[in-house]
Structure 1
Amino acid sequence: MKSYFHNPRDFTFVYETLPDRMKKLAQEKPNKVAVVMYYSERDRFQITRKELYDKAVKFARALMKLGLKKGERVAFCASNSINWLAYDLGIIIAGGISVHLLMGEYDIKFALAGCSFVVLEKSEHWDDLLAVAEIAPGGLITSESFPSLKLGMSVSASTRPGEALLISELLDEVDKMDSKKYTNFPFVDPEDFVFTKQTSGTTGIPKRVKHTHFNVMNCPQSYGEMDAFTDSDVRFNSRHMAYTVGYPFDLFTTGLTHVSGCPTFLNDYDNLDYLVKIWRQEGCTILDLPPNKFSDLRGFDCRVKTIDSTGDLLTKEMIDGSLSIAETMIVAYSSVEALNICHRVFKRSNLHEHIDGMLGRPSQGVEVKIVDEFGAVVEQGMAGVVYVRCPWMSTGYWDIGTVRPHGWLETSDVAIMLPEGDLILKGKTTEFILRGELKLLTQFVESYVDRHQDVNKTVAVNIPDANGKDNLCCCVQTYPGQKLEDEALLDFCMANMHDKYVFEWLPVIPKYFLEFEEFPELLTGKIDKMKTREIAIERLKATKK
């Protein structure tokens, strides 16, 4: 059998825009809480559906007054807040395209290209902008680097440059206007672009992915309907809302309540007791959590419907830990371009079916195939590159051209397909260790070293020697209070790695172990493996001097 699987959809497509859906939700249950935000143990804020929609409309009127035209891009970079979604939706109501950013040192030249307006919060981001642009009274921007930029707005009064516009002041001005002024919003079609998401930049350059209202409104339904999420559910998500898996898709599609806040606070390992308190207090039924917390959930007096995990490989032990408080555990596989691709729901009764590297089965409406280097679909059980096709696929990128033969998206993931359609990840086309003519997958090594009781996270990288040969180095972050012992880790690998040698002469046991207090991260919060490798090479060079 060939490695091709299609899961037909059994739901009807929704042909509706995000503003239309939010307006409908506000009319149906105006006082239902839409978003809850936690910034610390003492700082809790909430906004209802009607309050959210009304503030979005108010911001849209302010943007119309400032001259925003339909189809113009608005760079939006701000921390999670109770107003984040209102500002985002306001941009969309006014006909703009919201460009969701997690700005950093390397991407300002990519992030702002082609944008007309910019909305910033943090002083360091304003500093980045002011290094390449000037702001005149009224927030007017001139820049040789970004000739399309016209206007700058600040979320915060304490960090805005003197000439930048302040959103709160703009909203106050709207309150003083005639209620009918600047309300003739442009027509927005469900197939118009709604927002742009950045990829993680694992290749060094993040791509800006274009999505339509249709994509956003329909992709989550392929996921939500199968798992029976409703507007009575409450989802906890500790990610940044600008990040694809942090965006409140199912607030729009199912009407559930979205609980989030400051990612630094909500992802602090030491705050787990308080997080459980939040889940109880808010009545959370769905938890989006990083998997390093799963094993610590045992012993807590808390029950939820399900726990989601996207973007991380899970072990059977991790899933078992999540099921100590959840009825089900959803392993999901997604991308910025295709959004939801695969998932698998685990319970105690089917936990034995889990295999290391499992990504799940294609979700409703999704086609997946595994191909070789010539583009031919491989037999089931053979490794190849994952290709995806679905109706809510991104139409492409702002920065580069898009070539997708017959509508298929080529991922960088290498996997095998089982007869039931399950995908088992074997690695990435960008993350191999070369051994002669063969390629060893770094995830293979990471998954085993991560099982050591003292290891929190492992990143395997290749270290070239003087002859150009790749040597395997495991960069390891231990749990607090633990110390890395090279010999102990080496003994653990020798005893526990099933395939210690691909062939008798081809060792895959790491040659080096390096301890890291923390790993460098990309803007999305993922580990920056390229930077980790650079640091490892420099540290090993220093030890040889």
Structure 2
Amino acid sequence: MSKLSYLHINPATPNTYMTLNDAMKRNAEKYPNTEAFIYRNEHGDRWSITFGDLYEKGQCVAQYLVTSGVQRQDKIGLFGPNTLARIVAEFGILLAGAVVLHLNVDVKIASDSNDVLEKTKCKVVFVDPGEHDIFLPTIQNLKNGRQLIFLRKPGSVYTDPVFIDDIQTSRDTSVELPEVQPEDEAIIFTTSGSTGKPKMVVHCHFDFTVGVEAYCELLPESKRAFNDRPFCWLGGTQAFPTVSGFTTVFTDSNLGSSGKGIKLIWKIITEEKVTDAMFMPYCLYDLLAEQDNIEDDGYRLETISTGGQVIDKHCTKVIGRFCKKMVIAYGSTEVLGIAFHLVENSEDFETGCVGKPIPGVEVRIVGENGQVVPVGEEGELQIRSSFLTTGYFGEEEMTNRAYTKDRPSWFRIEDIGKMTESGELIMRGRVKENISRGGRKILPGVVDDVVKKMEGISLVATVAVPDVRFYEEVCVCYTATDGVDLSPSDVERYCKENFSTEETGDGMGSSPTYFVRFDSFPTVFTGKVDKQTLKRQAAERLNLTPR
């Protein structure tokens, strides 16, 4: 191994040059009667769809889109909670040669998603009004002349609605679906942007087929996996089970993030005979907190996978009680998978360790001067791989900033870490002041932009404060205009009126949890707000200590 912080592991097998559509067809032909996805809700109800039916219904949706004028590589919006209908819609979009545009709504008037829809010239959006039409007001804001296709029937009257139930069974063999290439764009994920508007991370079919295969090289073969992450996030994307061909059991994402559903989730896992599960770290904390209240009948998962933040030794205590082994997965929306760590003994685990790069990934660690640092020194991680994002849609300057000027260039992941003598990566945190709440990255500036519009606010600075379950929570620190009596409860009420929660994938979005009023902010010698001191003071006032 080099004395400098550089690692690369060659793939054990050559890349498979195919599309997600090819994988769908392969699964349908190989496992036509095998359940592909199983949905369980909090009431105990169960719905499922086989690989064969999923492909058949996806083709019907694709034919409808093509006959409606959708062209190859058009962007098609997709909004709503995890459901089987949403999966059919996603498959239909891809089979039509179009691009899935996942929508995350953080602001109640949906201005963030409308910006995305306008920039991509999206004319069709699949929408789910949710139970009791909870998302219908948001959907009204998304229309703006676009065709809406409903994933479930709203309870209230809607003018000339089109329902997926009506089109997913109408096969027209005269309609020819377009041929899709591996380099064609497949999925766009929307993430928080530093400007206050979402970044659109573009991935082509080849990114997923190669990236998932590389990751699966390191895992025991999964037969039945559980994953409750929102489908609109990388961690919940249906591209993974599509390429790997395993059965996926899922629930509503809010069930896990609420902190009240872990016993039910474990019950579902045992009933469905799940072999492997993906849990966010806060769910692991919930499992451990409830272990005395969960019957130990000897059932053990083969693996539990986790990630999204720095993982500490406490999380690994699920080994032996709930699983045989644990997988620490390290990646990002832009890069997909980066590193993989299989943990068999919690005693040997070092906090922050994410293991070695997955096959096909190059990692280097650089200092402030841009030069690679010696092994053991901390620095900023940079990544090269064949499954990196093709860029941020419509943002050439942002894309250029994300890559170095080397040829071939490196992607700036903006994480801090170090490399060990044994070739493992130890993560320390983020370069920027992003808040990591339950694996979701929240940009303080996005929250600031909403709060500073409140009448009576003078200054606002959103910071991270420690949290036992979510690792970090969102805290709004503010000063009021002279003579204005603006209490934390006033600001909290304003945020509840302006931030979306139920409409977001995880039921939380970017909505802040804590509110602290200051007479003035601490500053550094340049006059700028001293964020580190402000974070410490906010946590002290709230009586919060790191876990």
* TM-score (normalizing by structure 2): 0.75
The answer to whether the Cα contact below 8 Å between 1:77 and 1:101 also exists between their aligned partners in 2 is yes
1:243 partner letter: W
- The answer to whether residue 98 in structure 2 is matched with residue 96 in structure 1 is yes
Residue 184 of structure 2 corresponds to which residue in structure 1? 192
Secondary structure, in 3 states, of the residue corresponding to 1:240?
coil
Deviations 1:71-107 (A, max 9, x none): 1100111211112211101011111111112223152
The answer to whether the Cα contact below 8 Å between 2:280 and 2:308 also exists between their aligned partners in 1 is no
Secondary structure, in 3 states, of the residue corresponding to 1:283?
coil
1:110–1:407 Cα change, 3 Å? farther
The answer to whether the Cα contact below 8 Å between 2:253 and 2:505 also exists between their aligned partners in 1 is no
Secondary structure, in 3 states, of the residue corresponding to 1:307?
strand
2-side partners of 1:73 and 1:472: how far apart?
A: 33
Higher RCO (C-alpha 8 Å, min separation 6): 2
Residue 497 of structure 1 corresponds to which residue in structure 2? none
Identity of matched residues, %: 24
Deviation at 1:387, TM superposition (A): 0.5
- The answer to whether residue 215 in structure 2 is matched with residue 223 in structure 1 is yes
- The answer to whether residue 266 in structure 2 is matched with residue 276 in structure 1 is yes
The answer to whether the Cα contact below 8 Å between 1:70 and 1:96 also exists between their aligned partners in 2 is yes
Residue 119 of structure 1 corresponds to which residue in structure 2? 126
Residue 335 of structure 2 corresponds to which residue in structure 1? 338
| Alignment coverage as a number of residue pairs | 454
1-side partners of 2:214 and 2:386: how far apart?
A: 11
The answer to whether the Cα contact below 8 Å between 2:114 and 2:142 also exists between their aligned partners in 1 is no
- The answer to whether residue 233 in structure 2 is matched with residue 243 in structure 1 is yes
The answer to whether the Cα contact below 8 Å between 1:118 and 1:153 also exists between their aligned partners in 2 is yes
1-side partners of 2:259 and 2:431: how far apart?
A: 32
Secondary structure, in 3 states, of the residue corresponding to 1:407?
coil
Residue 476 of structure 2 corresponds to which residue in structure 1? none
Residue 46 of structure 1 corresponds to which residue in structure 2? 48
1:92–1:423 Cα change, 3 Å? same
Secondary structure, in 3 states, of the residue corresponding to 1:83?
helix
Deviations 1:4-42 (A, max 9, x none): 111111122111111221111111121101000112232
Secondary structure, in 3 states, of the residue corresponding to 1:226?
coil
2-side partners of 1:124 and 1:77: how far apart?
A: 13
1:81–1:355 Cα change, 3 Å? same
2-side partners of 1:394 and 1:472: how far apart?
A: 29
User: Which of 28, 38, 48 is the matching residue for 1:36?
Assistant: 38
Residue 486 of structure 1 corresponds to which residue in structure 2? none
The answer to whether the Cα contact below 8 Å between 2:58 and 2:168 also exists between their aligned partners in 1 is no
1-side partners of 2:511 and 2:106: how far apart?
A: 16
1:185–1:3 Cα change, 3 Å? same
2:385 partner letter: C
1-side partners of 2:20 and 2:307: how far apart?
A: 24
* TM-score (normalizing by structure 1): 0.75
- The answer to whether residue 313 in structure 2 is matched with residue 316 in structure 1 is yes
With 150-159 and 356-365 compared, the bigger mean Cα shift is at 150-159
Deviations 1:109-132 (A, max 9, x none): 332121231111235765446447
The answer to whether the Cα contact below 8 Å between 1:202 and 1:529 also exists between their aligned partners in 2 is no
2-side partners of 1:162 and 1:539: how far apart?
A: 52
User: Which of 156, 170, 173 is the matching residue for 2:152?
Assistant: 156
The answer to whether the Cα contact below 8 Å between 1:75 and 1:111 also exists between their aligned partners in 2 is no
Structure 2 runs not aligned, ≥5 long: 446-460, 470-491, 522-537, 543-547
Secondary structure, in 3 states, of the residue corresponding to 1:252?
helix
Deviation at 1:538, TM superposition (A): 5.9
Q: 1:480-499 maps to which residues of 2 (within 5 A)?
A: none
Structure 1 runs not aligned, ≥5 long: 135-140, 142-149, 433-441, 451-456, 463-470, 480-515
Deviations 1:522-543 (A, max 9, x none): 855498789568x335699999
The answer to whether the Cα contact below 8 Å between 1:368 and 1:387 also exists between their aligned partners in 2 is yes
1:263–1:525 Cα change, 3 Å? closer
2-side partners of 1:315 and 1:6: how far apart?
A: 25
Residue 532 of structure 2 corresponds to which residue in structure 1? none
Secondary structure, in 3 states, of the residue corresponding to 1:56?
helix
1:189 partner letter: Q
2-side partners of 1:191 and 1:473: how far apart?
A: 40
User: Which of 71, 74, 77 is the matching residue for 1:69?
Assistant: 71
With 364-373 and 297-306 compared, the bigger mean Cα shift is at 297-306
- What is the RMSD computed on CA atoms of the aligned residues? 3.5
1:225–1:64 Cα change, 3 Å? same
